Structure 1
């Protein structure tokens, strides 16, 4: 079964307090959904049209598990706390089986 991944690239962070509130809620929600944090805001080298910006990578045992974690009540609560505090590109992608 192919793994699932959350990939978030933060274009701008306009409200660090909202991001902190989101992080406080999102971490437990991700763990409860079976997610494992692989990378968050570390060093980045961007190539081609890439932009060196805060990036988060979370792994799940399956693509379906990644979708379910995003749809969970706990993670939706985290998104409410984040609201308009950031502009980000968030994707759920399927890994190679």
Structure 2
């Protein structure tokens, strides 16, 4: 079974306090669901049409595990805290 990667990019952060509160809840929720945060922050370098947006990369053992983490009640509570504090894009990509 191929690993899966959850890639989150932040287009805009309008409420840093909400983002900090989200991080306090989402990290443990993701870890409890089997996720491992591999990288987070603003890119050290971008190329071509890359944008210097905050990016988070999380590894899971499978796409199903990544979906279950996102849909878990603990992660949904974290999303409620974030509310409209950030405009983001989350993608789950299967590893090769």
Contact 2:34/2:61, CA 8 A, preserved across alignment: yes
Structure 1 position 93 matched with structure 2 position 93: yes
The number of residues matched between the two structures is 96
- The answer for the alignment partner of 2:68 in structure 1 is 68
- The answer for the alignment partner of 1:16 in structure 2 is 16
Q: What are structure 1's unaligned runs of at least 5 residues?
A: none
- What is the rounded CA distance, in whole Å, between the counterparts of 1:4 and 1:29 in structure 2? 17
Q: TM-score, normalised by structure 1?
A: 0.94
SS of 1:48's equivalent in the other structure is coil
Residue 44 of structure 1, CA deviation: 2.5
Contact 2:40/2:56, CA 8 A, preserved across alignment: yes
- The answer for the alignment partner of 2:2 in structure 1 is 2
Q: What are structure 2's unaligned runs of at least 5 residues?
A: none
Structure-to-structure mapping, 1:8-87, within 5 angstroms: 8-87=8-87
Distance 1:52 1:42, change over 3 A: closer
Superposed structure 1 runs of 4+ greater than 4 Å apart: none
Q: CA RMSD in A?
A: 1.0
